[in-house]
Structure 1
Amino acid sequence: MKKTVSSLSGALMVQGTTSDAGKSTLVAGLARVLARQGVRVAPFKPQNMALNSAVTADGGEIGRAQALQALAARVVPTVDMNPVLLKPSSDVGAQVIIHGQARTDMDARAYHAYKPIAFEAVRASFERLRAAYDVVLVEGAGSPAEINLRDRDIANMGFALPYRVPVALVADIDRGGVFAHLTGTLACLAPEEQALVCGFIINRFRGDVGLLMPGVDWLSERTHKPTFGVLPYLHGLHLDAEDAVDIAQTAPAAGGPRLRVAVLVWPRISNHTDLDALRAHPQVDLHYVGPGQAVPACDLVILPGSKAVQADLRFLREQGWDGALARHLRYGGKVLGLCGGMQMLGQALHDPLGLEGGGSSAGLGWLAFETTLAAHKQLRQVQGVLAAAVLDARAPTEAPSAVALQGYEIHMGVSHGPALQRPAVWLRDEASGALRPDGAVSDDGQILATYVHGLFDHPEAQAALLRWAGAGATVSRIDLGALREASLERLADSVEAALDLPALWRQAGLG
C-alpha cells in the first residue's frame, strides 16, 4: 500500500519556459497523484487565454484545462479554479470572463489597464480555494520570461510574489535547447522571483535519460536549484486540449471500412474538444482541413464552434469551402454544424451590439433560420435525447427518440426560423422535466445543426450520430470518459515514477 501524504498543505505553482511546455498536463498529473493519496487538492489558473472552455455546474465558464484538472483532482470544477478567462475574438481583442461570466470585450491595451481589477477576482478565488483545500496547484500562463508583460502581471510571478507561492519551472525538451530555456528564463526574472523558483522539471524526453544527466548536473551547478525529474514523452493520452488543435493526432488504425470525416479549421475555432471521441474512434478517419487545403472526399463535414462567427464565415468563403460543401451535399454527403458552425448554416447572422465586430452577413443558407447575437451568454450543462429525425428522416418532426445525450451550451446567439421546427435534439428542462427543441435537421436529413457541445462524448448518442453520417449499423462505441480516466491514471503513474516527489513537496514547503 502506498504511503499517504495527506498531511501536505499549502500551494505550489507550475510555470513554463514557453507556452505548451506541459504545464496543464503536469498540474493534472500532480493533482491525480495527490488525490489518490488522500490529499484534498484543487487546481487554479489565475488567468487563462483559450477558446476551449467548459461549463461548471453552477453555470459559469472556465478553461477546459481547469475542468480536466478538477477531474484529475476528483473534485467538482468551479469558477474559482479559473477566475479570469480571455477568449480571443480577433488578433487584438478578447472577451473578458470574470468568475465564469462574460463582462466585456477589450483590446490588449484596455485589458492591461483592467488587470488590477481582474486581480481582485484572482485574489478572492485563490483565498477561497486555499481555505477549502489542503493543497492548491497553480498553473501559470505562457512564460514568466515575457518581460514586456511583467508590469501588472497576474498570471505568473505577478501572482506568485504577493502570496510567496513556490514555483516549479517546467521546460519541453522536445523543442530543443532545454537548458537554455531554463537558465534563460531564470536569468530574465528579478532576484525575488528567482528565489521563488524551487526547482526544475524537464518534460517530453525521448531516449536514454542517463545521457541527459551531465546536463542536469551542469544545470544544478549553474543555478544552485534541483531538477526534480525528467518526464517521458507520453503518446496516446486522451486528455482535453487547453486550446491549440493537435492536427497530428489521428485515430488508431482499424480493419474494414472507416467513416471519412473532415473538420474545417478556421482562425477562431472553439471547443474543438467536441471531436476528441471521433479522433479516438477506430472506425473514423478524421482529417482537419486548414488554410489553403481542399475539402477531401468524405462522408461527413463538420463545422465546429467559433468565437467570431462572421469573421470565420468570411474565412470559409475565402478558402472556397462553401463551393466544396455545396458539391459535397449534391453527392449525398452529410454536414454537421456545432454551435457557431450551426449559425453559419442559417440564412443570416446579425450582431447589432457589436459583440463580435458588428454588422450582418448572409449565412450559407442551407437551413431556414437567422441568428442574432445577444448580450446574455447561454451557459448550461444539458441532458436530453436525439430527435427521431436523426435516426430516420421520415420520422415526425415533433418526436424525440430514446437515444440519450448530454453536453453543454456556450453561445451568445439566439436563432429563430422555421427550420427549428424540425429539431436535432430535445433538451430536458431541469426544473420542469419538460423537453425543449434545439437545432435543426434538414428535410432530406443531410444537414444536422445544434448548439449542444459534447454530443459525441456520450456513447449512445455517438453511435447514433455516426450511423446517421453513414457508418453502418455495426458501429462501435467509444467511452471518452473512460479513456480520459485511464489517461489520467497513466499520467499520474508516470509522474510518480519520474519525479522525486518528496523533494518537490519539501522544496515547495508543502510539508
Structure 2
Amino acid sequence: MGRALMLQGTGSNVGKSLLVAGLCRAARLRGISVAPFKPQNMSNNAAVTSDGGEIGRAQALQAMACGLAPHTDMNPVLLKPETDVGAQVIVQGKRLTTVRAKDYATLKPRLLDHVLESFDRLRTAHDLVIVEGAGSPAEVNLRRNDIANMGFACAADLPVVLVGDIDRGGVIAQMVGTKTVLDPRDSSQIEGFLINRFRGDPSLFDDGYALIARTTGWRGFGVCPWFGDAWRLPAEDALDIRPPRQASGLHVVCLCLSRIANFDDLDPLGQEPGIRLTMLQPGKAIPGDADLVIIPGTKSTRGDLAFLREQGWDIDLVAHRRRGGRILGICGGYQMLGREVADPDGIEGKPGVTPGLGMLDVSTVMTPDKRLTQVRAVHVPTGTPCHGYEIHVGRSAGPDCRRPFARIEAQPDGAISPDGLVEGTYLHGLFCEDGFRHAYLAGFGIASHRGYDAAVDGVLDGLARHLELHLDVPGLLALAR
C-alpha cells in the first residue's frame, strides 16, 4: 500500500483543490507516483473519465498534475445539485439515485465501502495519494456517517493538515474554533496546519501563526501567498472564472444559469488575448455589444429555461440575433434553443413540457439513459477534427439537425439555424482543443495561436514551484503514512 495524506479546510473554497494539485505536481516532479483522491465532491462541473464515468472537475485537474488520466476512483461520490434541496448521487462514475438533502445522511453509510474500495485501489497502484476533504470538519452537525472529512480520515487512519484562508478574514478563529468543536478522536487526526492566500508581507502574520500553533498544538507548514495565475487553471466554481478584464476584443458573453454545469468549456476563451469574456450574472441584461452569446450546460434544462426567462434574457437574445449577433448553445443550452423540451418521465423534475426559445427547429425529449462518453468528431462548418465529451440525458431532433454542428463517426450532432447565427451542440470541451478553437475563432476574425493544455501544464509547474518556495513541502510529503 502507498502512503496517504489528507488536506481539510476550515471552510469551503479555502483553496484545498489548488493546494492538492500543486502538491501532486511537486510530488510528481520528485519522481513519486502520486494520485489525487476526494471521497465526496459536490459540483455540477464534471469531467468524463477514461473508464466511462464522471468525477468532479477539480479531480480531473489534479490527475493532470499527477500525469494521469482522470479515473472514477479519484472521486467515488459526486453530488450534482438539481434543485435547492436535492441532488443526483454519482457513485464510482455512475448515477445511483437522486435524493433530497435531508435524506442523504441515511444513504452515506452505504457509500463508505465504495469510497474505501476506490481509495485502496489508488493506494495499491501508487506510492502516494493526496486526499482532499470537502467543506469543513467543523460542521459537526454533519459528522454522523461522514464520508468526506473526519469520518473518512478516521476510517482510513490518515494524517490531516488543516487549511485556512486568510484572505476572507478571521483565520485565527477558524483554526482555533475548529480545534474547539472537534471531538477529541477527530482532533487527534490533525497533525498540522497551513495558511493559504496571504496578500502582502507574510511576516506581518508571524504572531498570529505562532498563536495558532501554541493554542492548537499543531505543527505549522507555512504561509502560502496568493497564487496570481490560479485563474488560468480550470475552475470548479463558475464564480472562479474571472479572467483579467480586457477593454476590447471579441465580446463573448456566457449566461450564468442557476444550475450551470460543465462551464470549464469557457476557460480557454477567457485566456485568449483577443477575447473579452463576460460571465453574465443574473439580473443583468445581455450587453448590446456582445458578439457571441453562449448558453452553457445545465443540470436542469427546464428549470433553467424558466430562470433564463425570469432574467429577461429570452428577450435580449432575440434583440441580439436581430443585430446579427451569434448564439451557441452547449448541451442543455442547445436543448433550450429548440422549440420544446419534454420530460414525460420526470427525469429532471416534475413531468411536463416546456416551450423552448424557438431559435432552432428541433425538439428535445428527456430519456432515462445518460450519454456519457469521450468522442472524436469533425466540426462541419470548418471541417476541423476535434475531440470532446458528451454528458447528458435527452435526445434532440428536427429539421435544423440536417445542418449539424459536428459529425461523430459519421453521425450528426447538434444543429445550425438557416441563417447560421444560432448553433447548438451536445459536445463539451471543444474549446480546449486548440485546432477547433483556432478554426472557430477565425470565423470571427480572431487569430488564436495559444496551446491551452500546454499553458495549463505550465501553470501547474509554476504552482508547484510556488508551494516549494513558501511551504514546507518536504515536511508535508513526509507526514504521509
On whether the aligned pair clears a TM of 0.5, the verdict is: yes
Contact 1:379 1:411 in 2 (8 A): yes
Q: Could you tell me which residue of structure 2 aligns to residue 425 of structure 1? A: 406
Match of 1:490 in 2: 462
Alpha-carbon distance, 1:463 to partner: 2.0
SS class of match (2:377)? strand
Task: State the match for 2:395 in structure 1.
Answer: 414
Question: Counterpart of 2:83 in 1: which secondary structure?
Answer: coil
User: Which 10-residue stretch deviates more, 20-29 or 184-193?
Assistant: 184-193
After TM superposition, list the pairs within 5 Å mapping 1:63-462 onto structure 2.
Answer: 63-237=56-230, 238-246=232-240, 248-250=242-244, 253=246, 258-297=249-288, 298-357=290-349, 358-388=351-381, 391=382, 401=383, 403-428=384-409, 435-462=410-437
Q: Distance in 1 between matches of 2:313 and 2:117?
A: 46
Tell me the CA shift for residue 461 of structure 1: 1.0
Structure 1, gaps ≥5 residues long? 1-7, 392-400, 429-434
Q: TM-score, normalised by structure 2?
A: 0.97
Three-state SS of the structure 1 residue aligned to 2:208 is helix
Residue pair 2:361, 2:417 contacting (<8 A) in 1 also: no
Question: Can you list the C-alpha shifts for 1:23-59, whole angstroms capped at 9, x where unaligned?
Answer: 1011101100111111111111110000110001121
Amino acid paired to 2:343: D
Amino acid at match of 1:280: Q
Report if aligned partners of 1:371, 1:415 keep a CA contact under 8 Å in 2: yes
The separation in 1 between residues aligned to 2:271 and 2:224, in whole angstroms, is 24
Q: What is the RMSD of the two structures over their aligned residues, measured on CA atoms?
A: 1.4
* 1-structure distance, mates of 2:279, 2:447: 22
Q: Which residue of 2 aligns with 1:499?
A: 471
Secondary structure of the structure 1 residue equivalent to 2:439 = helix
Aligned partner letter, 1:243: D
Question: What is the CA–CA distance in structure 1 between the aligned matches of 2:73 and 2:240, rounded to whole Å?
Answer: 28
Kept in 2, the 8 Å contact 1:460–1:477? The answer is no
Change in 2 beyond 3 A, CA 1:323/1:386: same
| Shift in Å, 1:505 | 3.2
CA shift in 2, pair 1:331/1:410, >3 Å: same
Q: Is the 8 A contact 1:229 1:499 kept in 2?
A: yes
Q: Which amino acid aligns with 1:274?
A: D
Query: After the TM superposition, which of the residue ranges 201-210 and 238-247 deviates more from structure 2?
Result: 238-247
Structure 2: runs of 5+ lacking an equivalent: none
Which 4+ residue blocks in structure 1 deviate beyond 3 angstroms? Answer: none
Contact 1:462 1:477 in 2 (8 A): no
1:478, 1:439 → 2: CA distance?
27
Report if the CA contact (8 A) 2:416-2:424 is conserved: yes
Superposition TM-score, scaled by structure 1 size: 0.91
Does structure 1 retain, via aligned residues, the 8 Å contact 2:23–2:467? yes
CA distance in 1, matches of 2:33, 2:475: 20
Q: Does the 8 Å CA contact 1:250/1:286 hold for their aligned counterparts?
A: no
- Deviation of 1:217 after TM superposition, in Å, equals 1.3
Identity %: 49
Helix, strand or coil for the counterpart of 1:406? strand
Give me the whole-angstrom Cα distance separating, in 1, the residues matched to 2:107 and 2:387: 37
Task: Kindly indicate whether the alpha-carbon contact (under 8 Å) linking 2:373 and 2:391 is maintained by their aligned counterparts in 1.
Answer: yes
